[in-house]
Amino acid sequence: MYTPPRVLTVAGSDSGGGAGIQADLKTMLALGTHGMSVLTAVTAQNSLGVQGAWDLPAEAVRAQFRSVVDDIGVQAVKTGMLSSPELVETVAALLAEVTAPVVVDPVGVSKHGDALLAATALDVVRTKLLPTATVATPNLDEVAQLTGVQVHEEADMRRAAAAVLEFGPRWALIKGGHLSGDAVDLLTDGEQEHWLRAPRHDNRHTHGTGCTLASAIAARLAHGDTVPEAVAAAKEYVTGAIEAGFRLGEGIGPVDHGWRLR
């Protein structure tokens, strides 16, 4: 009997289904893995923004993690919205015992500008969470928040990656989604350098791009890809999902996680 690779997301819930846990689980299914979740926070969220957010107690995060890891096991882990210093610290301590690859998406602010991480948590992200990462996937705002490096053009991305690698992840993937022109990301471990370039799709329905990319990387790592292979496959998947993004509600709709099914 075939058992798919198991992938765990540790992230917040997006009630609108475009980002967070919902995006992660859809991506994991689309890429042929069994997705599992440790919920850190609940958001009331839709295409217009985040209307409310509530953290779960650290004890609930630890209990979910134990239930999954002790019985089922994981072949890759992805982290997303961790909200508070206490939750970042809790998750970092749990990840320290995992031998499977870990993808850390250091989620800071939503597309609508709503804070998903307390400013007081930045230091714990730098010192405790990022060192657990096989791959860290900051967007340009998160790079600026975490390292102070401002990226205005592709050439700045090398400096950004070097600054992120200082915090200890094995690989840094600097996402250039917020620049103009082609959608270019830089993956590096400080020695190898891989530039990932895709056409920019002029589609305003891009809610959940970062969650989708990070979950796709985790899914491919669980299948046994190397990091550069996993990131290349994930980039292809997210690019297709952005191209197929659709209108939902009155604001920014989601990327289409099921685009390969249509």
Ligand X SMILES: Nc1ncnc2c1ncn2[C@@H]1O[C@H](COP(=O)(O)OP(=O)(O)O)[C@@H](O)[C@H]1O
Q: Which of 67, 123, 66 is nearest to 97 (CA)?
A: 66
Closest distance to ligand X from the beta carbon of 66 (Å): 29
CB atoms within 10 A of CB 62: 15
242 near ligand X (CB under 6 A): yes
Which of 175, 205, 220, 257 binds ligand X (CB under 6 A)? It is 175
Scanning 49-57, 74-82, 176-184, 223-231 for contacts with ligand X by CB under 6 A, the matching segment is: 176-184
Q: Which of 216, 214, 173 is nearest to 5 (CA)?
A: 216
Closest distance to ligand X from the beta carbon of 181 (Å): 10
**Structural tokens at position 120:** 């007081």
Residues paired with residue 43 on neighbouring β-strands, in sequence order: 14, 53
List the end-to-end C-alpha distance of the chain, in Å, as a whole number.
27
Q: Which is nearer to ligand LCLJCK34, 110 or 132 (CB)?
A: 110
Among ligand X, ligand LCLJCK34, none, residue 43 binds (CB under 5-8 Å by kind): ligand LCLJCK34
Among ligand X, ligand LCLJCK34, none, residue 31 binds (CB under 5-8 Å by kind): none
Closest distance to ligand X from the beta carbon of 69 (Å): 26
- The kind and range of the H/E element at 198 are strand 193-198
Q: Distance between CA atoms of 241 and 255, rounded to whole angstroms?
A: 5
Q: Which is nearer to ligand X, 66 or 204 (CB)?
A: 204
- Catalytic residue positions? 175, 206, 208-211
